A and B are shown apart, each in its own frame.
Chain A
């Protein structure tokens, strides 16, 4: 089974992350290539954020997730079994139509992935092209994400028995600006041995919830951002969350002061509140205007996979 995921046009960060997640899931059954037709711009880049690499990452099975360029979207690529074209509002729909037609001519299964709900009137030509794409596609998966929804995001800090780290997390919540705090639900997990941890601040009273004991399975799957300390037991959970379409921040990684993000999509942060706040905003999509929550985007990826590759297993933490 071979699949191609095409992003026509300059893809925003959240589209790139969504494609990465799709690719991760699709590599369970075969070779995957993600085609970026444009380089990402510098406009929405953080200092220390690395650029594109030779591959998008590695699947859990160990295979590389290949990347392609404009030429691959135009047709200079190996034949695959299925082609997924991701569409967002500012995508190059003409290029998408070309890629879709080409896939159909080569006998590939064409699936349209539209994460955002069409709540705004699209420009005339875009509307026509999107309609044409829907006609030629075998199936369209429509998401329900809205850019202006402003739904609160959930951050879960996994501190376990590290009292200092838990205190740093609470200081970070306390230091968050009021306008930002209204968009967050803050959860702090501590182990039963760390009983002395209690919220003592004044600014986020009633907004921070302290959970005692091992993190709940559902909570891990539904949290938008997982935060854990570097080289501590919960770091693996953060890495797995990123592989399964979530967002994660690892605090205290030695190179965090110079490199903002790992190649697998995990964000790095130094051990201070300012750095953690930046990593939270960047990873949750607040900074890059991600339209939906992690749960919504995971559900969308599940739907796409069900269409493309029904035998791909459900993946959860």
Chain B
């Protein structure tokens, strides 16, 4: 097998890279130097053995570990972002006003994902606010609804909000401030000072604490609340947000995927109110076991290969606004 010679473009890239490496790296230059792209890196020669290794490695997790991770350019984020709120619903026509009534003026779009409700949720939702858009998603599960909502969202920041009205839309500005200050993902927590819950029973608190400890052990994080559905994140982080599960384990899956990607996730204190109408679909033991299974599955995937993000510290600009 004859190794293919590098193209003219590859040669130019290689020479640029080596020239940059040879130049003296002063602190100022270090800060302003562009990050090397994947295409800048010299590629190894393609041999039969290398192809076999490639095939073997790709077969494990579907990705080439030598492939440069995706670049997250925080400098492109606006300081006055537009905000989209995504609300997955299932027979929540009476509770929807409670989910939306305190949303601040900075919210530019509210996407209600419905499709399986047997009541008038979709009809009522359209009339709640001027900026509401109803999206029909026939697939079962909160994960599918969230995924559809995320795909439809047009805002710079995407907020996940439960439709039962237990989360206070007035706290949203706190989440947005944290994101504008530099975080990639703002996660609501009921166990931080300033947060709390009127809805958590002792058994649910115990379960949540235990599951949080397990996730913290696997992901090497220090989170205080695992199963809470009030979160916000920048739109450019969507590629790291995994919500491909159906039940209440969706928040766990999402949090583990984001944490393992190396994104900056910051907890924000939040108060959970009682739902006003109807009863919760949550079953503490049954859903706790589902979350545990999801943790095991996601943990296994993380061990196989992390899809970490590559990003520069704040203040370093690589792109233009």
Where the two chains meet, the residues of A that have a C-beta atom closer than 8 Å to any C-beta of B are 42-48, 171-172, 174-180, 203, 257-258, 269-270, 272-275, 277-278, 281, 287
How far does the alpha carbon of A281 sit from the alpha carbon of B119 in the complex, in Å?
A: 19
CB pair B102–A180 under 8 Å, yes or no, is no
Question: Among B127, B196, B198, B276, which residue has the most Cβ atoms of chain A within 10 A?
Answer: B127
Query: Are A178 and B97 in touch, CB under 8 angstroms?
Result: no
B 82-117 to A, binary, CB cutoff 8 A, 1 in contact else 0: 000000000001101111111010000000000000
Assuming the A-B contacts A47-B102, A171-B127, are A179 and B94 also in contact, with contact meaning beta carbons closer than 8 angstroms in the complex? yes
The answer on a CB contact under 8 Å between B101 and A275 is yes
Check if A46 sits within 8 Å of B93, measured CB to CB.
Answer: no
6 further contact pairs, Cβ within 8 A, besides A180-B93, A273-B128, A274-B97: A44-B274, A46-B273, A48-B102, A171-B127, A175-B127, A257-B170
B97 touches A277 (CB 8 A): yes
Is A179 a contact partner of B93 (Cβ separation < 8 A)?
A: yes
Q: Which residues of A contact B120 (CB under 8 A)?
A: 177-178, 203
Residues of A within 8 A of B22 (CB): none
- Which of A178, A258, A269 has the most CB atoms of chain B within a 10 A radius of its CB? A178
Chain A residues whose C-beta falls within 8 Å of the C-beta of B119 in the assembled complex:
177-179
Contacts of B67 in A (CB 8 A): none
Q: List 30 A-B contacts (CB under 8 A).
A: A42-B196, A42-B198, A43-B198, A46-B273, A47-B168, A47-B170, A47-B271, A47-B273, A175-B126, A175-B127, A175-B128, A177-B96, A177-B120, A178-B120, A179-B119, A180-B93, A180-B94, A257-B102, A257-B104, A257-B170, A269-B101, A272-B128, A272-B129, A273-B97, A274-B97, A274-B128, A275-B101, A278-B98, A278-B101, A281-B97
B273: chain A residues within 8 A (beta carbon): 45-47
Q: Is B124 an interface residue (CB 8 A)?
A: yes
The answer to the question of B1 belonging to the interface, with a C-beta cut-off of 8 Å to chain A, is no
Chain A residues contacting B127 (CB-CB under 8 Å) are 171-172, 174-175, 273
Q: For residue B98, which residue of chain A has the nearest CB?
A: A278
A-B pair number, CB within 8 angstroms: 77
Which of chain B's residues have a CB closer than 8 A to the CB of A179?
93-94, 119
B101 touches A203 (CB 8 A): no
Q: State A258–B104 Cα separation when bound (angstroms).
A: 10
Which of A48, A272, A287 is the most central at the interface, judged by chain B CB atoms within 10 Å of its CB?
A272
Question: In the bound complex, do residue B94 and residue A177 qualify as a contact, i.e. CB atoms below 8 Å apart?
Answer: yes
Determine the distance from Cα of A42 to Cα of B197 in the docked complex, in whole angstroms: 9
Residue of B nearest to A279 (CB): B101
B274–A43 CB distance below 8 A: yes
Q: Which residue of B lies closest to A277 (CB)?
A: B97
Residues of A within 8 A of B49 (CB): none
Q: Which A residues are CB-close (under 8 A) to B98?
A: 274, 278
Instruction: Check A281 against B101 for contact (C-beta < 8 Å).
Output: no
Report chain A residues within 8 Å CB of B130. Answer: 272
Tell me which residues across on chain A come within 8 A of B97, comparing CB atoms.
175, 273-275, 277-278, 281
**Distance in angstroms between the alpha carbons of A178 and B271 in the assembled complex:** 29
- Cα A203 to Cα B271 in complex, Å, equals 35
Q: How far is the CA of A172 from the CA of B274 in the complex (A)?
A: 24
Chain B nearest CB, measured from A52 CB (Å): 17
Q: Which residues of A contact B52 (CB under 8 A)?
A: none
